Every structure is written in structure tokens, then in C-alpha cells.
Amino acid sequence: MTWPGGGQDQQGQQPQQWGQPAPQQQQQQPQYGGFGQGGYGGLGAFDQKPQKKKGKHTKAILFSGLGVVLVAAVVVTVVLLTNGKSPQAAPTPPPGPTTSSKEIAKPPEPVREAAKNPGWQVVANSITKLMYEVPPAWKPSAPADKREMLGNPGISNLSKLGSYQCGGGTYSRGVTGMVALKPKEGGPALETGTIAADYAKGFANSFYRFTKDGKTQTPQVALGQPKPVQRQGVNGVVVEATATTAPGEPCMAASGKVIAIVHLLKEDSAIVMVANADTAAVAGQESAPTATDDELNKIVDSFRVATQ
């Protein structure tokens, strides 16, 4: 299998539990801050001004209502002074508005760009406008589904491949996802080679680790050399990692591959995609499909910013 944290695909599992260190280890501090599901407002949002704080409109209405009351009081006083008569019961001024209208945020437009690979399906984030494509056998996950990695923001907008049952749990033969990043406050500037290596190695460790008899077993990970790429006029880096699973867990594949691609959009923003697939069959689960090298490379090559 390939499953983050060496766990099972259990409904209701908290995202922060995937890929956590063993109890005796200290949690690593993230080097990067996540955008995407964590508040990133689209690729155009890098130049946007902060949104106005809520409540000012409500206060303006309350102050307006208060002004009506004060004006009414002044008018009554002037009439009394002019006529010199005893005060009469003044009509109660109409109450001010008790409700305020709020600006309704317009939902983001869905990505309408078609797949470039015939018969493939598009996986897209309507907020960030990031997208990639997967073959028909891959199944996109719910938008809230996320996979964590030790020390850095996880990936979302996932797709999974070849789901199978083993040992009472549900596993998959592959997983893909993406994330947009900004540098951590006070941290180093984003560097594509470093980020790609972090994600390739980090998710290879996360996907092929497991816990047995209270002890976490980590895989052996071999990290390849970074390769430069360019897409939509933006430079990037691809790094590949291979993982060899420790013995002792019959439900997990003996080996797997993780490819991470990173494009630096600006000095303070980067986009990342991770594609993973088993490279060895699980005993008794040979019928569960996995991705070929060609398919995995095509998935990574399809990662881009939507233009529609």
C-alpha cells in the first residue's frame, strides 16, 4: 500500500495524525506556510489588499439610527422654546434598523479547462486555480481530504488509485495532491530545489512508514537529483524519491515512488504537486492496479495553473 503515516484509510481520522513522529521524537517546525485550503486566496491574491474588517457597516447603521434620535430631540426642544407651551407627549421616533446587510462573497468560479490527455479527468482547486489530470482509474477525493507530512504543510485536492482491503483496513496503490506555499514568517526564502527534495523525501517517508507492536518502522528512501523544468513560462524543479518499505507489514507494498514538482511564482510564493504510486505488488492484492512510470510522469506534467 501507500498510505500516509503507515495507517489505514479510516473515516473521521484527524489530518494532523497522518505522518506524525514517534512519541519519543519532537515535532519538527514547518519551514513553509500553507496557502490553498489554509487561506490562500488564489494566484491573483498575492497582490490583493487585506479585506476590510467586518462590523463597520453595522456600526455605521447604528450611528445613523442614533443621529435620527438626536435630531428628533433637537426639533422637539426648539418647538417647545418657540411656543412656550407645556410639553406634549412627543411621538416616538421610528426605530432605527435592527439588521444590517452583509456583503455576500461570490463563490469562486469553477475551473472549466478540459483535460489535455484524452479520457483523463481534471482535479482542480477553484480558489487557487491549480489543476492536474489523472487517468480514469484514479478517484478524486473529497475537497476536505488532506495528507500531512512531517514538518511541512500537507497536500489537498487528492486523487487515489487502486483501493483494496487488507488486515481490516482500506489501502490505496497511489495518491496525488497539491499545495500552494508561502515562506514561514522569519524563515528562509523559498527555493524550488529544497522544497521539491523536502516533499519527495518527506512523503516517501510518510507514505511507506508503519507502526507495529508500538514501534514505528520507517522506509529506506533514496532521493534523486533535481531536474529543471519550465511550464507556462515559469521555472521549476522536479525531484523523485524511491522508498523501500521495512519488512513486517504484509498489507504494504515493498517499494514505491514519489515525484514532487515545484514552481516558484514569485519570491514569496510557490506551487507544489506530489504524485505517488507503488512499484511492487502487495501479496494477495496483485489485482489492485498501480500506475506505470509513464502514467506517473504524465500526471506530474499535467500540473499547471488553469487559464479558464
> What percent of the chain is modeled with pLDDT above 70?
65
**97 in helix, strand or coil?**
coil
What pLDDT sits at residue 181?
A: 93
Say what the pTM is: 0.70
With bands split at pLDDT 50, 70 and 90, how would you rate the model's confidence at 45? Answer: very low
Q: Name which of 80-89, 95-104, 252-261 the model is least confident about.
A: 80-89
Q: Name which of 17-21, 64-68, 71-75, 118-122 the model is least confident about.
A: 17-21
- Does position 85 have pLDDT exceeding 60, yes or no? no
What pLDDT sits at residue 90?
A: 55
- In CATH terms, the fold of domain 16-46+111-305 is Protein Transport Mog1p; Chain A (3.40.1000)
- Does position 109 have pLDDT exceeding 70, yes or no? yes
What pLDDT sits at residue 88?
A: 52
What pLDDT sits at residue 3?
A: 47
Segment 214-231, tens digit of pLDDT: 999 999 999 999 999 999
Whole-angstrom Cα distance, residue 252 to residue 166? 9
- Does position 59 have pLDDT exceeding 50, yes or no? no
Cβ neighbours around 240 below 10 Å, total: 23
Mean pLDDT of 1-30: 35
Q: Where are the domains of the chain?
A: 16-46+111-305, 55-101
What pLDDT sits at residue 299?
A: 97
What pLDDT sits at residue 57?
A: 39
Taking all residues of the chain, what is their mean pLDDT, rounded to a whole number? 74
Mean pLDDT of 33-55: 36
Residues 6+ apart with CB under 8 A from 147: 4, 15, 18, 19, 154, 155, 156, 158, 175, 177, 203, 206
Q: Which residue has the higher pLDDT, 170 or 37?
A: 170
What pLDDT sits at residue 289?
A: 85
Give the highest mean pLDDT range of 4-13, 136-145, 193-202: 193-202
Q: Which residue has the higher pLDDT, 109 or 237?
A: 237
The answer to whether the beta carbons of residues 190 and 269 sit under 8 Å apart is: yes
**Closest by alpha carbon to 301, among 130, 118, 132?**
132
- Does position 83 have pLDDT exceeding 90, yes or no? no
Segment 177-214, tens digit of pLDDT: 999 999 888 888 899 999 999 999 999 999 999 998 89
Residues 6+ apart with CB under 8 A from 218: 205, 209, 246
